[in-house]
Amino acid sequence: MPTFYLNPRASHAPYPPELQHILNIGAAAESRAWLKHWDRINMQGTPLRELPGLAARLGMKNIVIKDESLRSQVGSFKALGAPIALVRLLLRLMPEKRLNIDALFMGSYRELLQDITVISATDGNHGRALAAAAQSVGCPCVIVLHGGVSSERENAIADYGAKIIRIGGNYDESVEEAARLASENRWYVVSDTSYEGYEDIPRDVMQGYAIIGAEVIEQCLCRQETPAFSHVILQGGVGGFAAGVASFLWQYHGKHRPQLIVVEPREADCLYQSGIAGQPAKATGAVDSLMAGLACGECSPLAWKILQPCIDAFLVIEDEAAVRAMQVLAAGRDQDIPIIAGESGAAGLAGLQTLLADEQLKKKARLDHNAHVLLINTEGATSPSIYHQLVGENALSVKVRQDCWQNRRVK
């Protein structure tokens, strides 16, 4: 059974001034400008895909998905967060050097940075993005992986020259191990989750994710008082992604902001539990999910400062729902474009389908035939063998069908 919680603390007032120092439109714009100097990322804007066939089948006015699988060779939205956090860390560490951002991403300071080691725990995508950025700028990188991370994701990280450390346990235990190793070796943690005394870098990561909100607004040409979407469904995890995107939409649209819903796995329901408690809380499940990027047991306290007043509802879904959503997106039925969405990438659609399958939940979420829904495909087939197993078709085959669809549209 789905679990759905309407947040009584959600506000549709203008973006509060006290949140400006955490996340704001100006810092997102600066991050966006900096990332244009990195040759491993697409800063032209990932596509917004309209899915009219799916919308008609589900009884919605419109369903649009932003495809972050095409953000970079990293294969996920994480390419927006880790590089910006790394750049801001280096600028803070050596302000007297007046580092040039273009030269930094080109590796011109490699000799200067050879003794600055960065480390992070990851379920795969964040570590891959950090390893790629560290390789570009020229500083050593260490990535801590827990037992649930696939060998394919490990190899993808190692391909960027990162040193891999494997531990048993889950994601939260890998976070603890990364913090321990950093303290022991005088390394620098570049993580997307905050904890006591550690907020600057998670804030920088979230600011990078806010770029997605900026692109959506520009691509839709929407005005502040008229959002293009009535509902936006965001993936959970520790909360950094949801906070980054939601904060931008809230600050831009103010009291006119869309309904914001967060979705997460049943076994990793830390945001749902935080919503009920009204403060950061731990997951009640085993923190073991097929949606590896969302299998997090503890909410980021910094992200929660944004999420508590702006997320209208929290939804918990089953792993099977994500698999069905992956298959739906890959199929591209009724003239919709086929989309390659990984397990976590398809979670937004899985959440929408879960809500629409229950009339009571559908009403609570205010989803009717007039709804304009935005989903975000946060990752592609970052573990190709798992994708093939779950979808029944390999990602290359889906890509061929996607290219054929696009070629027909051009003609």
Of the residues 132, 157, 189, which one is the last residue of a structural domain? 189
pLDDT confidence bin for 411, thresholds 50/70/90: low
Count CB atoms within 10 A of the CB of residue 316: 26
Is the per-residue pLDDT at 2 higher than 70? no
Do both 258 and 378 map to the same domain? yes
Do both 204 and 297 map to the same domain? yes
Of the residues 162, 189, 216, which one is the last residue of a structural domain? 189
Do both 208 and 310 map to the same domain? yes
d(Cα 268, Cα 237) in Å, to the nearest integer?
8
Instruction: Report the number of distinct structural domains present in the chain.
Output: 2
Share of the chain above pLDDT 70, in %: 99
Q: What is the pLDDT of residues 259-280, one digit of tens each?
A: 999 999 999 999 999 999 999 9
Do both 110 and 8 map to the same domain? no
Q: Is residue 249 part of a domain?
A: yes
Of the residues 189, 224, 245, which one is the last residue of a structural domain? 189
d(Cα 156, Cα 32) in Å, to the nearest integer?
25
Q: What is the CA radius of gyration of the chain?
A: 20
d(Cα 205, Cα 234) in Å, to the nearest integer?
16
How long is the chain?
Answer: 411
Tokens of 87: 């750049």
Is the per-residue pLDDT at 167 higher than 80? yes
pLDDT confidence bin for 315, thresholds 50/70/90: very high
Q: What is the pLDDT of residues 348-361, one digit of tens each?
A: 999 999 999 999 99
Is the per-residue pLDDT at 310 higher than 90? yes
Do both 152 and 54 map to the same domain? no
Q: What is the pLDDT of residues 54-110, one digit of tens each?
A: 999 999 999 999 999 999 999 999 999 999 999 999 999 999 999 999 999 999 999
Do both 169 and 246 map to the same domain? no
Q: What is the pLDDT of residues 104-158, one digit of tens each?
A: 999 999 999 999 999 999 988 999 999 999 999 999 999 999 988 999 999 999 9
Do both 37 and 149 map to the same domain? no
pLDDT for 408 equals 86
Q: What is the pLDDT of residues 393-403, one digit of tens each?
A: 999 999 999 99
Is the per-residue pLDDT at 378 higher than 90? yes
Query: Considering the chain, what is the average pLDDT of its residues?
Result: 96
Do both 69 and 88 map to the same domain? no
Q: Is residue 232 part of a domain?
A: yes
Do both 249 and 394 map to the same domain? yes
Q: Is residue 162 part of a domain?
A: yes
Do both 315 and 216 map to the same domain? yes
Do both 8 and 108 map to the same domain? no
pLDDT for 213 equals 98
Q: Is residue 321 part of a domain?
A: yes
pLDDT for 141 equals 98
Rounded to two decimals, the pTM is: 0.96
Domain range enclosing 125: 82-189
Query: Which of these, 282, 317, 89, lies nearest to 172 by C-alpha position?
Result: 282
Query: Which of these, 69, 104, 112, lies nearest to 87 by C-alpha position?
Result: 104
Annotated active-site positions, please?
Answer: 78, 123
d(Cα 376, Cα 212) in Å, to the nearest integer?
9
Q: CA angle 193-126-341, nearest 5°? A: 115
Do both 159 and 70 map to the same domain? no
Q: Is residue 138 part of a domain?
A: yes
Residue 260 DSSP symbol: E
Using the structure block, give the residue that is written with the tokens 């909360």. 239
CATH classification at residue 178? 3.40.50.1100
Q: Is residue 195 part of a domain?
A: no
Q: Is residue 392 part of a domain?
A: yes
Q: What is the mean pLDDT of residues 175-180?
A: 94
pLDDT for 1 equals 60
Query: What secondary structure does DSSP assign to 234-252, as a single string?
Result: EE-TTSHHHHHHHHHHHHH
Q: Is residue 194 part of a domain?
A: no
